[in-house]
Structure 1
């Protein structure tokens, strides 16, 4: 081997070493387990995404911790608790059992929970391109294993979020992990921002001026066949349930309206949320509401800026219902 060739090979090897070292360092920075310091924010205080219900209504988000700058849903482990799926590989179009446990600081599955919004655990499943949103409530076995029949509608990488409060912890956690669904992956572009979402005879109108890092009021108005819906039914202790996911990393924001609801009450046509988006960016909003005995889901895309601007132009056209189901019809409950 000539000296020139040896020099070139040596330089190439050095460059590879630097590249792998850089990749390893970056991976250590964003690793969802390493970033979750079990001792951080043990007092339940956080500076991340908040609920917006306010203290009098019982903030859901007040217990969400922002560990080391980590927003809810980005980590698989936090405060000593870890989301452990039974498997991360599934097939599309086939009903399978989605099973998982929440492993506690002692390494054992958690079996005792504090109920939040009428459930011990809320499970959100959505594809990484933010299509195929599902909000379901699995059942828990005596050994702490959660399970629910589930059908993934398309191939690709999906994100699973478990939103819960372990008994005695004093705060709510949202843990997330990726699931792999085989088959051809055809990404679905995010819809353009629009002020109206129309489906099944319903028109849901969204108004508001969100500003990054500041609480803003979002107002959803529901009509059907052109008439205001004034008989919304309570769902999870409120007249509406809102989940917002930040485009790109799918940081999770779980909100409820300021008005609580109990059996027998009627609500509508407006549902108001006090919501804080942590950063500027594009978010997908999924609003669940119950009417005539059925839970419906309206979906919106919102651009959040550093200064207050209207969510969408007033001339925005109605959006159309997605090709994939927006809400899992598997019965909720424990």
Structure 2
């Protein structure tokens, strides 16, 4: 492990605790945060799976931690060079992935058109960024980031080393955005979301420790969108983060562009498994008319969605963004 990582993490953790205490992030909406049971193991895309055999629909299995909860796993460590930024100011975020000898990893397996996917999310899940940083020859990754609100954030690096036999990993590290801080809560659950003039409707249920289908249907001006464009090799990408500890699920759609069966909208179908009961925030990325957009939903694992409840007085549109 890189010799400079431990001290830096320790100092940052102490500073973050002193600055923000037990509250995290800044976002939109007000709702109680749900305390979650122990999280679960994840598959090659960060989705949790049972520890014995495949996903056979049985619940109640003991599981290992879900993706993104650890800074080190399977001999790899996320070495975050930028641990603090200023809210509202564009900053270069840099980091390195190191192996168990402390060496920077410079070879990755390309997945969904990229060597590494970077997610930055506020602790309250009100701000979300799906970024694709550039890698230098020495293994250092960097990308500009502009976080709008002060508070605690989590950085997720989703990647697969090129080393033979290596599996997909999602490593996580804390990031602080300095500035005036006012905690806010999670938006209320709702089966519909609006983003940039598009309406997205969620049907299906996210189930604890059980695979289930989630269907997201995109429309614009009351008409179904039937010409979604491929984005990173798919018609949509879905990231789910658990409220409270930000356990990470990165699931991908059923089917792919050009497979002869998958249509370019209006519905994108996913199969996902929640590591536990509780509240989650779902972020759907899709491309249309040459631009990537993000629709965000709050759901509770085990609750079926399809009939939207009345709007919450505290719900506002989330802050989302991309970097390519």
Q: For this structure pair, what is the TM-score category when the shorter chain's length is used for normalisation?
A: 0.7 to 0.9
Answering whether residue 74 of structure 2 is matched by residue 73 of structure 1, we say: no
Of 295, 319, 322, 1:325 maps to 319
Indicate the residue corresponding to 1:60 in structure 2.
45
More strand by share: 2
Retained in 2: the 8 A contact 1:115–1:121? yes
Indicate the residue corresponding to 1:310 in structure 2.
304
Indicate the residue corresponding to 2:41 in structure 1.
48
Cα separation, 2, equivalents of 1:319 and 1:203: 19
Cα separation, 2, equivalents of 1:68 and 1:216: 18
Measured after TM superposition, the shift of residue 48 of structure 1 is: 2.0
Answering whether residue 240 of structure 2 is matched by residue 230 of structure 1, we say: no
Could you tell me which runs of 5 or more consecutive residues in structure 2 were left unpaired when the two chains were aligned: 1-39, 52-61
Indicate the residue corresponding to 2:129 in structure 1.
134
Count of paired positions: 273
Cα 1:186/1:257, change in 2 over 3 Å: same
Indicate the residue corresponding to 1:291 in structure 2.
288
Retained in 2: the 8 A contact 1:64–1:171? no
Answering whether residue 255 of structure 2 is matched by residue 259 of structure 1, we say: yes
Cα 1:215/1:145, change in 2 over 3 Å: same
Answering whether residue 116 of structure 2 is matched by residue 121 of structure 1, we say: yes
Two-structure CA RMSD over aligned residues (Å):
2.7
TM-score by length of 1: 0.76
Cα 1:314/1:88, change in 2 over 3 Å: closer
Q: Look at both structures and tell me which one has the larger radius of gyration over its CA atoms.
A: 1
Cα separation, 1, equivalents of 2:291 and 2:309: 30
> What is the CA deviation profile of residues 29-88 of structure 1, one whole-angstrom value per residue up to 9, with x for unaligned ones?
xxxxxxxxxxxxxxxxxx6244xxxxxxxx634899989721110000001100011121
Retained in 1: the 8 A contact 2:242–2:280? yes
More helix by share: 1
Cα 1:319/1:228, change in 2 over 3 Å: farther
Indicate the residue corresponding to 2:80 in structure 1.
85
* Structure with larger RCO (C-alpha < 8 A, sep 6+): 2
Indicate the residue corresponding to 1:275 in structure 2.
272
Cα separation, 2, equivalents of 1:228 and 1:324: 23
Cα separation, 2, equivalents of 1:325 and 1:235: 20
